[in-house]
Structure 1
Amino acid sequence: MKTTEYLTAIIDELIQTVPQISEEETAQLVTAVLEADKVFVAGAGRSGLAGKAFVMRMMHMGIDAYVVGETVTANLEAGDLLIVGSGSGETSTLVPVAAKAKQLGGVVAAVTINPQSAIGQLADIVVQLPGAVKDQAKSDYSTIQPMGSLFEQTLLLFYDAVILKYMEMHQLDSGKMYGKHANLE
């Protein structure tokens, strides 16, 4: 197969994920972002990278948002929102983060393949995204892509869709957001 044919297959897989995402679950997450004083995002590996991109866009919109584990991350307080992106929902470093957020009175949202996971069970809001977990032998979902790639790509694009919904609700556009873009580059 040519590289461009692989790219077409990846895009086709992504297109197939969209109708499987619940608009109701998504609306709950958007509402939680709107209502939170501060938003924290956690993820490991490539899911963590998608989370960092999400936090960057929230910052561009004026949302007080942080990546869990960074040195400049604020403290989570009651009523703040923690969003955890984890395909399996069992990532060993993220389960205690979700538990601590609950203990502190935070709202926990899980974006995961597996709502029945440890993180899913701790969450107040669960958005289920389609995809295969890293060990595809343990997955009912079929993909040509390795490990958790389909979930991670869907997660990144889903986060961008949440940003667009927030922009629509607050009548923001790229011009308004650009004023908060880094200028020391």
Structure 2
Amino acid sequence: MDTLDYAQEIVKELQGSVSGLNAAEGEAMAELLLRSGQIFVAGAGRSGLMGRAFAMRLMQAGQAAFVVGETVTPGIGPGDVLVLGSGSGETKGLVSMAEKAKAIGAAVVLVTISPDSSLGRLADYIVKLPGSPKDQADGSYATIQPMASLFEQTLLVFYDAVILRMMEQTGQTTGRMFGKHANLE
């Protein structure tokens, strides 16, 4: 196979993964984010990078959104939401964040492959994504891609779908969002 063949196979896998999304879970997440105070987004590794992209779009859509760990990120409080992207649902640092957020009175949303995980037991809202966790060895979800690539790609597509739904519900347009695009580049 050449790079084009691989790219086409990745798109096929992503199409299969996206077709397994639960619309009601996505709707519940979009509604929660629209009625929340501040939105905090976190994830580890590549899942964290997808979360950063999501936080950027939330900000551009007019939401008070922050990436956990940045020096300008304020404290979380009651009425706020912590959105966690974690394939395994077992990342220790994210578990700690979820425990702290809940103790303060914030809602916790988990987007994961593993709803029956430590984070799943802490979350107020769970969105289950199909995919292959990086430590999976039993072949239960076939992918040619390494580690959790399919989960991370599905995570980004799902996050973008939530943004589009929020835009629709608030009358937001791409043109209005562009006004919040970085201009010191």
C-alpha separation in 2, matches of 1:67 and 1:103: 19
Match of 1:59 in 2: 59
1:18 and 1:45 map into 2 onto residues whose CA distance is 21
Give the whole-Å Cα distance in 1 for the aligned partners of 2:93 and 2:149. 20
In structure 1, how many angstroms separate the alpha carbons of the residues matched to 2:117 and 2:154? Answer: 19
Quote the residue 1:165 is aligned against.
Answer: 165
Identity %: 55
Q: Specify the alignment match of 1:42 in structure 2.
A: 42
State the 1:139 CA deviation.
5.7
> Cα distance, 1:18 vs. partner?
1.7
Give 1:138 deviation, angstroms. 5.2
Query: Within 2, Cα distance between the matches of 1:180 and 1:21?
Result: 30
CA 93–138 in structure 1, closer or farther in 2 if over 3 Å, else same: farther
Cα separation, 2, equivalents of 1:49 and 1:140: 26
Distance 1:104 1:118, change over 3 A: same
Q: Which residue of 1 aligns with 2:126?
A: 126
The root-mean-square deviation of aligned C-alpha atoms, in Å, is 0.9
1:104 maps to 104
Between the aligned partners of 1:147 and 1:102, the Cα distance in structure 2 is: 30
Any idea what the Cα deviations from partners look like across 1:16-64, whole Å, max 9, x if unmatched? 0122111111111001101111000010000000000000011111100
Q: Which amino acid aligns with 1:62?
A: G
Please list every run of at least 4 consecutive aligned residues from structure 1 whose deviation after the TM superposition is greater than 4 angstroms.
none
CA distance in 2: counterparts of 1:125 and 1:139, whole angstroms: 28
TM, length-normalised to structure 1:
0.98
Q: Does 1:93 align with 2:93?
A: yes
Superposed displacement of residue 170, structure 1 = 1.0
Question: What do the CA deviations read for 1:108-141 (whole angstroms, capped 9, x no partner)?
Answer: 0000000000001100000000111111215621
Matched residue type, 1:100:
K
Instruction: Between 133-142 and 150-159, report the one with greater CA deviation.
Output: 133-142
In the alignment, does 2:36 pair up with 1:28?
Answer: no
Q: Distance in 1 between matches of 2:39 and 2:70?
A: 14
Letter aligned with residue 42 of structure 1: A
Aligned twin of 1:153: 153
8 Å CA contact 1:133, 1:139 repeated in 2: no
SS of residue matched to 2:19: helix
Q: Which runs of 5+ in 2 are unaligned?
A: none
